[in-house]
Structure 1
Amino acid sequence: MMRFLQNIFTRYEKISAPVKASVWFTVCGIIQRGISLFSTPIFTRLLTPEQYGVFSVYNSWYDIISIFATLNIFYGAYNNAMTKFQDDRNRITSSMQGLTTILTVILFIVYTIASDFWNGILNLSSLYVYAMFAEMLFLPAYNFWAASERYDYKYKRLVIMTVVIAAGSPLLGIIAVINTSYKAQARILSYVFVQVCVGLAFYIYNLYKGKSFFNKKYWKYALILNIPLLPHYLSSTVLNQADRIMINNMIGSGEAAIYSVAYSVASIMTIVTTAIKNTFTPFMYKSLKNQSYGKLRTTSNLLIVLVGGFTLIAMVMGPEVIYFFASSAYHDAIWVIPPVACAVFFKFLYPMFSTVEFYYEKTGFILAASCAGAIINIILNYYFINLYGYYAAGYTTLACYILYSTGHFLFQKFIFRKYGNTGNNLFDIKFIILFSVLLLLLMVGITFLYSYTWPRYIILLTLGIILVVKRSAIMRLLSAMKGSE
């Protein structure tokens, strides 16, 4: 046993920094998403569906409003700035953090001028909105720091902070909910308290290291790059969150909670896909910079297959996972899992395309696909939720992510052929289409198997065997990341 462990440790020491980072970023994702998911069965039993629905709607509105408060600068613009201005990273971080602070304060002033009006639109009390602004003020500081750590493949401190945040929020939440009759408020405020404490610490840290709150050059760079992306980020978030908000307003908070649980369960695969995406993004930036197109094409195909495998597992295990994560009041959520799981696959797919648009700073091309997807999602939700209830929201989300991915592929293809110094396609579109169609057909088949246990278990066993047999291919996938050093 000791020799076995020593062999593993020896092999681990020999692998490259990007591969180590990929492993540990995956671990971070598992810790963060895993603790959140495994606390769900506790909260779905401590809270009524209506109370759980309030927490779900709060998070949905936060994701939307924070786009206006921060412009999501810690995503595209920050990664681009770290690539272009490598020698001034600390000042970039602190000054862009200063920009998000000013934007949040301006938005808060707008809210306070007509708070009753905005509370009616949000269907939230002032207490929740104040908590939301406190979170938006400080949490971006942590996001800047985490993005910088990922860019440099530094994982040790990120793992520690992931554990602190992931464990602190549900633990404090459980204690707060148990010890008060104001359970929805306790869940939200305990969650916000942890986010604010961590964000405040990194806010001070980033400002101390960068010693710059305002920098005209970097503020202008971030605004020019990110303001055109506002509709894109808003549209992306609408695709993620509008379902719950519309279900809450059109049917009720209880149904919004059931849908939210189903969405969370179906999104279990994001434990791995988010970590893969976080590692793949800097790899892709550096591959585009170094014109390592062949390796990028091969790696993206392998990633698609890997993510598709996790999508199948999430769909096959849907009923069992719902039984574990929630009480019988949430049982009908199983029928939402297959389309939402497939939607998560396409949600992973489209950033692979949009990264090309970010890299060449042709962000205007992103708007058409993003806005079209969000508008279609709202229209389809309004029509089909009225007809078929909250079940329809899963299928409208899937349809919109398919359209979303298609639009981003077409735009990146045009951009890459114009600016990439090559007439070839960056991605293997034939393979992507065939694999996606196969996944959609399997989704339909698995839905009909939800009333039959053994066939689904046979499928699950088959997938497990394939993963074991193809483990070498998975290792080659990780090795392909070496090109990003």
Structure 2
Amino acid sequence: MSDESKKDNNGKKAVRSGFWYVISNVLIRAVGIITAPIYTRLLTTAETGYANNFNNYVSILSAVMGLCLIYSVGRAKLDFKDEFDKFMSSIQTLSSLFGFIVLLAMFFICPAGGMLKFEREVVMILFAYLVVYPSIDYMQYKYRFEYKYKENIAISVIITVATVVLSVALMLAMPERRGFAKIIGTVVPSAVVAIWCYANILCKGKTLVNKKYWSYALKIGLPMIPHGLALLLLARMDTTMISNLRDYSEVGLYTSGYTIGSLLMFLTNAVGQAWLPWFNERLYTKDYASVREKNRLMMFFGCVITLGFIACAPEAVKILYAPGYWTSMYVVPPVALGTLCQYFYTNYVNAELFYKKTSLIAINSVIAAAVNFGLNAYYIPKYGFIAAAYTTLAGYFILMILHFICTRYILKLPIYEDALYFAMLAVTCVIGIAYIMVYDKWLIRYGISLLWFAVLAYVRKRDIINAVKMLKNRRG
């Protein structure tokens, strides 16, 4: 197969992967929505907080325990084409070795009474889990860059279904310790899959230690640790600051609206999962024209979907929540627009990551998190939980600007149609915020939606035709 035929074939695989990633993400999210009432009936608010706190520590500590080596996988697939399995096996050994050292240290450090507001046994479970947990990410990233979307999706579905079944069973079997039962129900399925992933990667790569691979992965991964922590801070500081500066009722309103607005992320992340392998291959050959053409299409539909989310927010909130929560609908527009900014800035992050400029990524993330903290501290006391949604939008917009500057003026990469992207984003933001003024007038709101959709369909008819062709070819 010629190089050009291979590229076209991978392009079709990317479209097909994106389609099924979207479907699987929606279904997995649907499982979460359906099972939420079951958990709330079985768990008290304190038990829910206990289990969620465990999950929060997994998110935070996994960025450190895994040394962020996962970020080296995409470029390594190109730099070590014939040694990729060996590379994966080697970096897995490195992260699990570091995780085991931390686990051993915690065994001696953790007092008998526990720490992190957990009993000692739960602390040990947490750190033992983090030794093998990164292997799931390694396997899914490996599948992603090999265009094996079926295997990738299967891992997510198995973990999701097994977690629900085991969690409910254990909570019913352990009524006195249901918070602990929920933790075990979450850990065991993921740990079993992680061990399988670990063994699979090790058997294929048959490499434990390789200094060349370790040095390569560490140079890319270590600067990404502050990036990962800063993004977690950017995403989660809002609720903490609202609870400290206002009250818990506003936290409830904010998180309810945030949940609706962030649903968009499941779609954008699915598209990004399929896009990145193809993007790396094209960038490797400096085929900027193909990247520019396909990326313009992705950004256009990202804007359209965002406006659709914002337009439907009042009905979604009223269906899912009691009347006391309905004011949370005003959180959705800025949160959805913030998600769109993330979707846009990922383009620049992908380029920075490809060229191994991870220190720039980390610096930008820390700056954005610091700015967001300052904005929250100033505006939340004055305007309440609604302000937090707009400061989040501001934080992600600033992050997008910083990554744009780094890519265009520091790395001097003329990859994207930057002026067009900023114009698209500006128009989307204006329309999105304008929707708020007619949130209580559904007829006008949907009339406006039909109008702008018709205008966009006419103006961007070429992009729509191309998108339809891409979807028709997904079975090719």
| 1:161 aligned to which of 130, 136, 155 | 155
User: Match of 2:277?
Assistant: 282
The whole-number CA distance in structure 2 between the counterparts of 1:463 and 1:168 is 43
Displacement of 1:168 in angstroms is 2.4
- Tell me, yes or no, if the aligned pair for 1:356 and 1:416 is still in contact at 8 Å: no
Provide, for residues 452-475 of structure 1, a one-character-per-residue CA deviation record: whole Å limited to 9, x for no partner: 333334455567778988787346
The whole-number CA distance in structure 1 between the counterparts of 2:437 and 2:45 is 27
Displacement of 1:401 in angstroms is 0.3
Displacement of 1:351 in angstroms is 1.4
| 1:473 aligned to which of 463, 466, 469 | 463
Cα–Cα, structure 1 residues 466 and 147, in superposed 2: closer, same or farther, change >3 Å? farther
Provide, for residues 381-400 of structure 1, a one-character-per-residue CA deviation record: whole Å limited to 9, x for no partner: 33433444443322221110
The whole-number CA distance in structure 2 between the counterparts of 1:327 and 1:42 is 17
Provide, for residues 355-410 of structure 1, a one-character-per-residue CA deviation record: whole Å limited to 9, x for no partner: 11111122222233111011122233334334444433222211100000100011
TM alignment of 1:82-481, pairs within 5 A: 82-109=77-104, 111-112=106-107, 114-115=109-110, 126=120, 128-177=122-171, 180=175, 182-247=177-242, 256=251, 258-327=253-322, 330-417=325-412, 425-459=414-448, 473-474=463-464, 476-477=466-467
Equivalent AA in structure 2 for residue 198 of structure 1: V
Aligned length: 463
Cα–Cα, structure 1 residues 92 and 41, in superposed 2: closer, same or farther, change >3 Å? same
- Tell me, yes or no, if the aligned pair for 2:85 and 2:201 is still in contact at 8 Å: yes
> What secondary structure does 1:213 align onto?
coil
The whole-number CA distance in structure 2 between the counterparts of 1:447 and 1:220 is 51
User: Match of 1:68?
Assistant: 64
Displacement of 1:225 in angstroms is 1.5
Displacement of 1:257 in angstroms is 5.4
- Tell me, yes or no, if the aligned pair for 2:68 and 2:222 is still in contact at 8 Å: no
Provide, for residues 331-363 of structure 1, a one-character-per-residue CA deviation record: whole Å limited to 9, x for no partner: 443232221111111111111101111111222
Equivalent AA in structure 1 for residue 19 of structure 2: V
The whole-number CA distance in structure 2 between the counterparts of 1:346 and 1:127 is 41
| 1:37 aligned to which of 33, 38, 41 | 33
- Deviation larger for 214-223 or 398-407: 214-223
- Tell me, yes or no, if the aligned pair for 1:316 and 1:460 is still in contact at 8 Å: yes
Provide, for residues 209-259 of structure 1, a one-character-per-residue CA deviation record: whole Å limited to 9, x for no partner: 222232221111111121122222222222123334444566677765554
What TM-score, normalized by structure 2, do the two folds share? Answer: 0.85
The whole-number CA distance in structure 2 between the counterparts of 1:125 and 1:23 is 43
The whole-number CA distance in structure 2 between the counterparts of 1:196 and 1:213 is 21
Displacement of 1:85 in angstroms is 0.3
The whole-number CA distance in structure 2 between the counterparts of 1:198 and 1:471 is 45
> What secondary structure does 1:291 align onto?
coil
What TM-score, normalized by structure 1, do the two folds share? Answer: 0.84
| 1:17 aligned to which of 4, 13, 28 | 13
Cα–Cα, structure 1 residues 389 and 178, in superposed 2: closer, same or farther, change >3 Å? farther
The whole-number CA distance in structure 2 between the counterparts of 1:63 and 1:131 is 15
- Tell me, yes or no, if the aligned pair for 2:457 and 2:464 is still in contact at 8 Å: no
* Root-mean-square deviation over aligned CA pairs: 3.4
The whole-number CA distance in structure 2 between the counterparts of 1:194 and 1:429 is 44
- Tell me, yes or no, if the aligned pair for 1:169 and 1:191 is still in contact at 8 Å: yes
The whole-number CA distance in structure 2 between the counterparts of 1:113 and 1:239 is 33
The whole-number CA distance in structure 2 between the counterparts of 1:383 and 1:80 is 41
- Tell me, yes or no, if the aligned pair for 2:107 and 2:124 is still in contact at 8 Å: no
Cα–Cα, structure 1 residues 356 and 118, in superposed 2: closer, same or farther, change >3 Å? farther
Counting aligned pairs with the same residue, the percent is 25
The whole-number CA distance in structure 2 between the counterparts of 1:332 and 1:44 is 22
